Amino acid sequence: MGVSAFNTSTYPRVWPIEGVTLHWFEALASDGPLLEGLRTSVVIGFFVVVLSVPLGLAGAVVMTQLFRSARSFYYFVAVAPVLTPGIIIGIATVVFWRDFSGFAHLRGTLYNGTVLTVLAQSSFISSYCMLIIMARLQRFDLDQEEAALDLGASYSQVFRHVLLPFLRPALLSSAVLAFLTSFENYNATTFAILADKTMTTVLAARVRTGTSPTISALATVIVCLTILATLLFEWVKRRDDRRRNARLSAARAEEAAELATP
Report pLDDT digits (tens) over 77-97. 888 888 888 888 888 888 888
How many other CB atoms are found less than 10 A from the CB of residue 28?
A: 21
Whole-angstrom CA distances from 176 to 63, 128, 151, 188 are 23, 11, 35, 19
Q: How confident is the model at residue 178 (pLDDT cuts 50, 70, 90)?
A: very high
The CA-to-CA distance between both ends of the chain, in Å, stands at 69
What pTM was estimated for this model as a whole?
0.78
How many other CB atoms are found less than 10 A from the CB of residue 258?
A: 8
- Pair 81, 123: CB distance under 8 Å: yes
The predicted model gives 105-132 an average pLDDT of 84
At residue 129, does pLDDT exceed 80? Answer: yes
| CATH node for 31-211 | 1.10.3720.10
How many other CB atoms are found less than 10 A from the CB of residue 107?
A: 14
- Domain regions of the chain by residue span: 31-211
Q: How confident is the model at residue 107 (pLDDT cuts 50, 70, 90)?
A: low
pLDDT tens string 131-162 = 999 888 888 877 787 788 878 888 888 888 88
Q: How confident is the model at residue 109 (pLDDT cuts 50, 70, 90)?
A: low
At residue 28, does pLDDT exceed 90? Answer: no
Cα separation, 64 vs 99, in Å, equals 35
pLDDT of residue 175: 92
The interaxial angle of helices 86-103 and 113-137, nearest 10 deg, is 120
At residue 52, does pLDDT exceed 80? Answer: yes
SS3 assignment, position 159: helix
Cα separation, 233 vs 227, in Å, equals 10
- Choose among 243, 212, 80: nearest CA to 72: 80
pLDDT of residue 47: 94
SS3 assignment, position 20: strand
